[in-house]
Chains A and B, each alone.
Chain A
Amino acid sequence: MVENKNILEIDNVTVSFDGFKALNSLSLEIKKSQMVAIIGPNGAGKTTLQDVITGKTKIDNGKIYFKNNDLSQFSEHAIVELGIGRKFQRPTIIENISVWDNLCIALNTKKNFLSCLFNQLKNQDLNKLVEIISTINLKEKKNLIAKNLSHGEKQWLEIGMLLMQQSDLLLIDEPVAGMTEIETKKTSDLLLSIAKDRTIIVVEHDMNFIESLNVEIIVLHEGSVLTRGNMNSIKKNKQVIDVYLGR
C-alpha cells in the first residue's frame, strides 16, 4: 500500500437541506501535521463541513476518508476514537464541573461504563493532565467550577480537552470570536504551540488572527472550495476579494 500523506480526503461531498446545497461537490485534501485556516462568508458551509467530518450531519453524496477510513461507516463517538477532535464555535465545556474534571473526562482512556466506574488516574495520565493544564494557562484555576471562567478561558479549556483526547486532527470553529485582543494573541500562541505534531483546521473570520498564524488558507464559497494558498496570494485573488474580502 502506498503511504498516504493526506490525513483527510474529502471527495465530491454534497449536503442539502431542503434542496439547498450547504456543501456543493466539495473536494479537499489536508496533509498530515499541518495547520490550515478556512475562511469564507457567512453561510459558505464552514460549520456544515465540520458537521459532516465529525459525523453530526450525514452526507448525501461523496466520500470522506480519514487516515484511509471511510467515515460514513463510523458513528460520532467512533469517529472521535479514530482521532478527530472538535472545538465548537461557542465554548462547549461542561459548566457545572471543575476545570480539572473537564480535562479528566476528556482523557483518552477507555470510555465504556465499567472502565469509567472503576477508573483510577495513572501516573502518566496525571503527568499529561498537569502538562496540558499548564499549556492552556489554567493551572491556578484547576478547582474552579468551569462556568466561572471568562469567555477566553472557556475556549482554552475546550482546546485543552481536545488535547487530552490526543486527536490527530483538531477542528476548531471560530476560536477568537468575542475575545479581547490579549486573549486573541494568547490563543494564536496556544494554537502554534500545539500545532507541532498534529493536524489543525481553524475556521475564523478574524483576518489579523489568521495572518498571525501564518498558515495555508482555504477559501470556501457557496459550499465548495474557491481557492487555497498563502495569505499574500489570497489577498490578491480577484474572486476572493469579490466574494469575501471586498465586502
Chain B
Amino acid sequence: MNKQLFENKKSLINNIYLLLGDTTGKYLITILIISIFLLPILHIYIPEESFFHISSYTISLLGKYLCFALLALSLDLIWGYTGILSLGHGAFFGLGGYMMGMHLMREIGDRGVYGNSELPDFMVFLNWEELPWFWYGFDSFLFASLMVILVPGLLAFIFSALAFGSRVTGVYFSIITQALVFTLMLAFFQNDFGFGGNNGLTDFKDILGKDISSKETRGALYSCSAIMLILGYLICRIIISSKIGNILVGIRDRENRMRFLGYNTTVFKIIIFTISAILAGIAGALYVPQVGIINPGEFSPIKSIEIVVWVALGGRGFLYGAIIGAIVVNVLKSYLTIISPEIWIIFLGLIFILVTIYLPNGLTDLRRIIKRNYGRK
C-alpha cells in the first residue's frame, strides 16, 4: 500500500509554519510582529514635527483596534467554527475591562478629588464607610490580572454549562446571551452595585507605577495588545488545526452525528465558549488603560451586536478574517462618527445587510471574486 500518500508526520518547523495558517494569516502576523517594535519607537523617539511620528492619540487608537480584533477573534472561535452565535460577548469584554479598571482605581490612592486613600472617589461621594469585600485584593496587579481571566471565564463556564447542558441551541441561545449582557448593563448602571454606576471607572493615574498617559506607557500598552492578539491567534490556530477543529465543524454542521461518534459535544461547547470568553476578557482588560475609562455602556446590547458585524464583514471561520473585519469597521467608525454619529448606526446596519446578501464569507469573498475576474488562470 502506498503509505507515503497517507503519511502525516511533519517536522517541528513545518508544524509551526502550518500553525500560522494560510498566506493572509502569515502576512497579518508578520505585520503585527513588526509593529510591536516599530510603532512604540516611532511614538517615543521620533520628534513630533517629523512625518514619521505617531501621536499618542494614534497609538492608543491603534491599540484599541487590536483589542477589538482580539475580541472579534474570540467570537469567531465560537461562532465561525462552532456555529454558536453569541450576541453577548460584550459581557466578557466588559467584565475583563472592569477587573482592570478596579485595579487602576486602587492605584490612584489618595490622588483622587477627595484625597481619600482608602476609598475610590465615587464611594466617598456615595458616603460609603468602607471598601466593599469584592474590591479586596484589587490593589495587586497580579490579583487583578487573575480576575481578568477568572471572572469572565467562570461566568462563561456556568452560563454555557446551564444553557448547553439543557440543550439550548441556535437562536434561543443567542437570545439568552443578549439577555445576559443586558442584565449586566442594568446591574452596572446601579450606583449601589459598587462599580461607579453610569460614570463607570475613570480618572486613572498610573499602571504598574508608571504614568498611564506617558509615551512609554502608551507604547508598551500597544505592544502588549499586539502580543496578546498574536498569542490569541496562535491559541485559536492550535485549537483549530488540531483534531478539535474538525470536531467543532462537526458540531456546527451536525451535532447529532458527533454525539453518535461518541463525542460529548456539550463539554466541547462549554470549553470553547469559556476559552472564547477568557480571550474577550483579556481584550477588555487591555482596552481600558488605553481608552482611560470603563462604563456600563460596554454592556449595551448594540455593542455586542457590533462585534458580530465585524466578524461577518471579515468573514467568519478564518480567524484572520475576524481581525481584519474588526479593524476595517472600527477605522470606518472612527471617521464616520466624526462626521455624524447618527450616520454610523445606519451604516453599520447597511454593512451587515450587504455582507449577508453579497459576501456570505465577508471580505474573503471579495478576494476570491477579484482573483476569479482578474487573476491568472
- A contact set with B: CB distance below 8 Å: 54, 56, 76-77, 80-81, 85-86, 88, 92-97, 101, 104-106, 108, 111-113, 116-119, 121, 126, 129-130, 134, 142, 161, 165
| Residues of A with C-beta under 8 A to B261 | 80, 105-106, 111, 161, 165
Which residues 246-260 of B have a CB within 8 angstroms of A? 246-247, 249-250, 253-254, 256-260
In the complex the two chains form, what is the Cα distance from A118 to B8 in whole Å?
14
Q: Is the CB of B246 within 8 A of A105?
A: yes
* Alpha-carbon distance A165/B257, docked complex (angstroms): 13
B3 near A97: Cβ-Cβ < 8 Å = no
A113 touches B260 (CB 8 A): no
Minimum Cβ distance to chain A for residue B335 (Å): 37
Nearest Cβ in chain B — how far from A124, in angstroms? 13
Contacts of A94 in B (CB 8 A): 246, 249-250, 253-254, 257-258
Q: How far is the CA of A106 from the CA of B246 in the complex (A)?
A: 11
Instruction: Select A97's contact among B250, B256, B260, beta carbons within 8 Å.
Output: B250
**Chain B: interface secondary structure?**
helix
Tell whether, in the assembled complex, residue B3 and residue A130 are in contact, meaning their CB atoms are under 8 Å apart: yes
B238 interface residue per 8 A CB criterion: yes
B253 and A96 contact, CB distance less than 8 A: yes
CB distance from A129 to the nearest CB of B (A): 7
* Contact B262 A119, beta carbon cutoff 8 Å: no
Report B227 CB to chain A, min CB distance, Å: 23
User: Could you list some 27 contacts between A and B, CB below 8 A?
Assistant: A54-B260, A56-B256, A77-B259, A77-B263, A80-B261, A81-B262, A88-B260, A92-B254, A94-B246, A94-B253, A95-B253, A104-B243, A105-B243, A105-B247, A106-B261, A111-B261, A111-B262, A111-B263, A112-B267, A113-B244, A113-B268, A116-B243, A116-B247, A117-B238, A119-B242, A121-B8, A126-B8
* Closest partner residue, chain A, to B317 (CB atom): A96
B6, A96: Cβ atoms closer than 8 Å: no
Query: Given the complex of chains A and B, what is the CA–CA distance between A77 and B247 in angstroms?
Result: 14
Would you give the 0/1 interface string for B192-220, flagging 1 where the beta carbon is closer than 8 Å to chain A? 00000000000000000000000000000
Is the CB–CB distance between B242 and A101 below 8 Å? no
Contacts of B243 in A (CB 8 A): 104-105, 116-117, 119
CB neighbours of A126 from chain B (8 A): 3, 6-8
Residues of B near A97 (CB, < 8 A) are 246, 249-250
* In contact, B246 and A117 (Cβ under 8 angstroms): no
Interface-central residue, B3, B250, B254, B265, by most chain A CB under 10 Å: B250
- Separation of A142 and B249 alpha carbons in the complex (Å): 18
Interface membership of B264, Cβ < 8 A = yes
Which one of A97, A104, A105, A121 has the highest number of Cβ atoms from chain B below 10 Å of its Cβ? A105
Assess whether B1 is in contact with A165, with CB atoms less than 8 Å apart: no
CA of A130 to CA of B2, assembled, Å: 9
Asked whether any CB of chain A lies closer than 8 Å to the CB of B228, the reply is: no
Contact of B267 among A80, A85, A113, A119 (CB under 8 A): A113
Top 4 A-B residue pairs of the complex, sorted by shortest distance between their CB atoms: A80-B262, A94-B250, A92-B257, A116-B243
Q: Which residues of B contact A130 (CB under 8 A)?
A: 1, 3, 6
Closest chain A residue to B256 by CB distance? A92
Contacts of B247 in A (CB 8 A): 105, 116
Instruction: Name the residue on A nearest B7 (C-beta).
Output: A126
Residues of B within 8 A of A96 (CB): 249, 253
* Set of chain B residues within 8 Å of A113, measured between Cβ atoms: 244, 267-268, 271
Q: Which residue of B lies closest to A164 (CB)?
A: B261
Q: Is B302 part of the contact surface with A, judged by Cβ < 8 Å? A: no
In the complex, besides A117-B238, A126-B8, 12 extra interface pairs with C-beta distance below 8 angstroms are A77-B259, A80-B260, A94-B249, A94-B253, A94-B254, A104-B246, A106-B261, A111-B263, A112-B267, A117-B242, A134-B1, A165-B262
Closest to B270 in A: A113
Complex Cα spacing A111 to B261, Å: 9
Minimal beta-carbon separation of B333 from chain A (angstroms)? 32
Whether B239 is near chain A, meaning CB under 8 Å from some CB there, is yes
Q: Would you call B260 and A85 a contact (CB within 8 A)?
A: yes
In the docked arrangement, what's the CA distance between A108 and B253, Å?
21
Q: In the complex, what's the smallest C-beta–C-beta distance from A49 to chain B, in angstroms?
A: 15
Residues of B within 8 A of A165 (CB): 261-262
In the bound complex, do residue A86 and residue B8 qualify as a contact, i.e. CB atoms below 8 Å apart? no
Q: Complex: how many Å from CA A97 to CA B247?
A: 10
Q: How far is the CA of A93 from the CA of B8 in the complex (A)?
A: 22
